[in-house]
Chain A
Amino acid sequence: DQQVKQNSPSLSVQEGRISILNCDYTNSMFDYFLWYKKYPAEGPTFLISISSIKDKNEDGRFTVFLNKSAKHLSLHIVPSQPGDSAVYFCAARDAGGTSYGKLTFGQGTILTVHP
């Protein structure tokens, strides 16, 4: 069962515009959510996170929104840059887990930002 789902395999946006990547989850016990970015031939890199007690977290061009009632989170990138082109993974931590590092990942969304 896929507890974290990213239903859009890919997203294409123009440079300077907003990129919105979406993620849905099913496990009510998830208490911490993260976004990772992955370039080809590299491991995932942490981007931004949000605790379940918040509904928004911002870091520069990146903002993550959490809607607990809908079990939905989204990552907004404004403005998008060609260097943002990568695979983006949504991940979640189970509150009953033993470590913040044990994460459940979504399938990923390939973001392409065109100049």
Chain B
Amino acid sequence: DTGVSQNPRHKITKRGQNVTFRCDPISEHNRLYWYRQTLGQGPEFLTYFQNEAQLEKSRLLSDRFSAERPKGSFSTLEIQRTEQGDSAMYLCASSLSHGFEKLFFGSGTQLSVL
């Protein structure tokens, strides 16, 4: 069990560019979540997958955001035409899906849009 891995740890980009983040969950976990955290706030739910199916998306996830989880393993979160307001920490978490789901978070990807 190596934990939830996120890459890259930091990403600096210019406004208007596209960025993609990757999350590798704990191998036996079939649920995967994306959260976003801005300074001074708690994490905010963006979306989650059960296996490869994306089951729920937050209203925060505008049409510039897309998430995938091919084959129910790793996941990617892409932001197109980045805006300065997208600057945040993007957290990935995974869990099993029986009973209470204890989320295991990765260390996050810090995005800075200049």
> Which residues of A are in contact with B by a Cβ distance under 8 Å?
4, 6, 9, 32, 36, 41-46, 49, 89, 91, 98-108
Contacts and interface: CB of A to CB of B under 8 A. Distances in A.
Given A43-B93, A43-B105, A107-B40, A98 B55 contact: yes
B42 A4 contact: yes
B101 interface: yes
Contacts of A105: 41-44
A99 B4 contact: no
Contacts of A107: 40-42
A46 B102 contact: yes
Interface of B: 4, 31, 33, 40-45, 48, 50, 55-56, 91, 93, 95, 97, 100-108
A100 B55 contact: no
A100 B101 contact: yes
Contact of B55 (A32, A89, A99, A106): A99
27 contacts: A4-B42, A32-B100, A42-B107, A43-B105, A43-B106, A44-B43, A44-B103, A44-B105, A46-B103, A46-B104, A49-B100, A91-B42, A98-B55, A98-B56, A99-B55, A99-B56, A99-B97, A100-B100, A100-B101, A101-B48, A101-B101, A102-B45, A103-B43, A105-B43, A105-B44, A108-B41, A108-B42
Contacts of B102: 46
Contacts of A89: 42-43
A53 B43 CA distance: 25
Contact of B95 (A32, A44, A101, A108): A101
Contact of B4 (A6, A41, A43, A98): A43
B94 to A, nearest CB: 9
Given A89-B43, A102-B56, 13 more contacts: A43-B4, A43-B107, A49-B100, A91-B42, A99-B97, A100-B100, A101-B103, A102-B45, A103-B43, A105-B42, A105-B44, A107-B41, A107-B42
